[in-house]
Amino acid sequence: MSTHNVWTHKGTFLLAAVGSAVGLGNLWRFPYLAGENGGGAFILIYALTIFAVGIPILIAETMLGRASRRSPIMGMQFLTRTHKTSRAWVSIGWMGAAAAFLILSFYSVIAGWALHYTWLMLTGTLVGADAATIASGFDALLASPGLLTLYHTLFIIASGVIVGMGIHKGIESGLRIMMPALFVILLVVLAYGIANGDFAAAASFLFTFNLGDLSLEGWLEAMGQSFFTLSLGMGAIMAYGAYMASDASLSRTAFAVAFVDTAVAMVAGLAIFSLVFGAGLDAAAGPGLMFVTLPLAFAEMPFGGLIGGVFFILVLGAAISSSISLIEPVAAFLVERFDLTRPQAVFAMVVASWALGLLTVVSFNLWAEASLFHTLFGRSAFDLIELLTNILMPLGGLLIALFAGWALTQSEVMKEMRTSEAWFQVWRFLVRFVAPAAVAFVFLRTIPLVEGYLLPAIGALIIVGAFAAGRTMLAGSGQAQ
């Protein structure tokens, strides 16, 4: 049965969706990917894909949630029944819930690193430290399963407590405090970067568009980041959409979410690269940008310990706002399907995900080499879990686009979108053809064997197959149009 909860205020969905979208992807992954792929050219492709792929699927996923007023799994069961389509489409809900569960298990471990660095910064431990000291300190953290487990536990408990308190008292109240505070902190760090770093070099790096600097791999990275940054295909947006007021505009809200999410990534990039260039460090430092390069920049600047601590508090807050959105799809399903109380459902989800997260913990130390996982799968447990999520999310997003684009009638979509005929036609074209094609390429990029000239060929076959399968599933419903 549906819980029929609705956000107290129309703007809460915007806060919730932005909270889900703004996380380590903006503050950690986006800056280092931009750094590795030439800055401005990467951002240009990222922004174009946000409009052509991200926003249409964001509208589609929110629409499915609001139309069903249920958790992703129960919601897709309801929609397939009412639209007389194949029950195979329920896999959208299951893939989203599975992706959320898997992502939370390792996201909590990585977010826990920010707890460690918040403490080091605020206590002044890293002030004046050189590159070798900071790098060895990060290696020591990864080598300690005890510390990683402690931080992992503290982080996931904090996230679970917020969701366990309920839709209004927990998630809604928490987001109203966290999100404005995070934006203020981000602006403080930017101001510090302008005052003490090289803002001009950062702006030039991020906003000089030279497509010749971007490889095919860089194009795919930009497309993938634009999809993943909006939390698409993992059930969170559908779960939050179920609580969205019926008269709230899907299109305006989706554009606002995409704008704020992109703006946060831009401001974070400007702040981080101002500090990096100001300290004469390498912008293409990769995944170590936040936890090695940036602490080194703070260590060499006035009041760096204090501002560094504030920055990692920002990272923690952004990570928690995302992690609560990962808990909600599964917790809501357990409440609806098994009639559990919300605290019971959250407890079950969090404990199971915490236990799975221990595999990620030992992937950095005890099982770093020559482990059972390496023997069986040729990769660490963390790499395997991440690979599974990188398959589930784009595949779920592709199916969301196809279902919303082909199964929902024009009158139904127009009623939900409350928009003009012209924008509806643009959205439907993007969600039926452009978005699935782009997501298929992102999906194929996650498969190690697909490379070179095989990528477009196999991509075309998958797209054609997906459309054919979608039309077959919808046959007889009278809604494929």
Is the pLDDT score of 2 beyond 50? no
Contact in structure between 156 and 353 (CB atoms under 8 Å): yes
Q: Which residue has the tokens 């000089």?
A: 208
Q: What is the dihedral sign for C-alpha 190, 195, 196, 201?
A: positive
**Given a cut of 80, is residue 8 above it in pLDDT?**
no
Domain of 96: which CATH number?
1.10.4160
Q: Tell whether 58 is covered by a domain.
A: yes
Residue 298 lies in a domain: yes
Confidence (pLDDT) at 23: 82
The pLDDT assigned to 456 comes to 57
pLDDT at position 7 is 79
Q: What is the mean pLDDT of residues 406-421?
A: 87
As a whole number, the mean pLDDT across the chain is 86
**Residues for the chain: how many in total?**
481
Q: Which residue has the higher pLDDT, 460 or 288?
A: 288
Is the model's pLDDT at 289 over the cut of 90? Answer: no
Mean pLDDT value of segment 456-480: 55
- Tracing tokens 């791999």 back to the chain, one arrives at 217
| Residue 362 amino acid letter | V
The total number of structural domains in the chain stands at: 1
Residue 480 falls inside a structural domain:
no
Average pLDDT over residues 90-119: 95
Is 371 a member of any domain? yes
Q: Which two tokens stand for residue 80?
A: 């397939």
Task: Report the distance separating Cα 328 and Cα 332, nearest Å.
Answer: 6
- Predicted confidence band of residue 131 (pLDDT cuts 50, 70, 90): confident
Tell whether the model's pLDDT for residue 405 goes beyond 50.
yes
Nearest to 121 by CA among 263, 313, 282: 313
Residue at 6 is within a domain: no
Instruction: Summarize the confidence of residues 91-105 as an average pLDDT.
Output: 96
Please determine, for residue 98, whether its predicted confidence score (pLDDT) is greater than 60.
yes
d(CA 244, CA 250): 9
Assigned domain for 111 exists: yes
Compute the average pLDDT of residues 34-49. Answer: 86
Q: What is the pLDDT of residues 442-462, one digit of tens each?
A: 777 766 554 444 555 555 655
Contacts of 365 (CB under 8 A, 6+ apart): 142, 143, 144, 145, 148
Q: Of 37, 40, 42, 23, whose CA–CA distance to 290 is shortest?
A: 23
**Contact assessment for residue 459 and residue 440, using Cβ atoms and an 8 Å cutoff:** yes
Among the ranges given (83-92, 93-102, 165-174, 248-257), the one the predictor scored with the smallest mean pLDDT: 165-174
2 part of a folded domain = no
Alpha-carbon span 84 to 427, nearest angstrom: 23
The stretch 83-105 carries a mean pLDDT of 94
* DSSP one-letter code for 5: -
Q: Cβ neighbours of residue 384 under 8 Å, at least 6 residues apart? A: 373, 377
Give me the domain span that covers residue 68: 11-474
Percentage of the chain exceeding pLDDT 90: 48
Query: What pLDDT digit, counting tens, does each position of 312-360 carry?
Result: 999 899 899 999 999 999 999 999 999 999 999 999 999 999 999 999 9
**Closest to 155 in 3D by CA, of 412, 429, 380, 353:** 353
What does the pLDDT read at residue 335? 94
Could you tell me if residue 382 is inside a domain? yes
Per-residue pLDDT tens digits for 209-244: 777 777 877 888 888 888 888 899 999 999 999 999
Distance CA 145, CA 387 (A): 22
Chain-centre distance of CA 44, in angstroms? 19
String of DSSP letters for 377-389: HSS-HHHHHHHHH
8 Å CB contact between 113 and 137: no
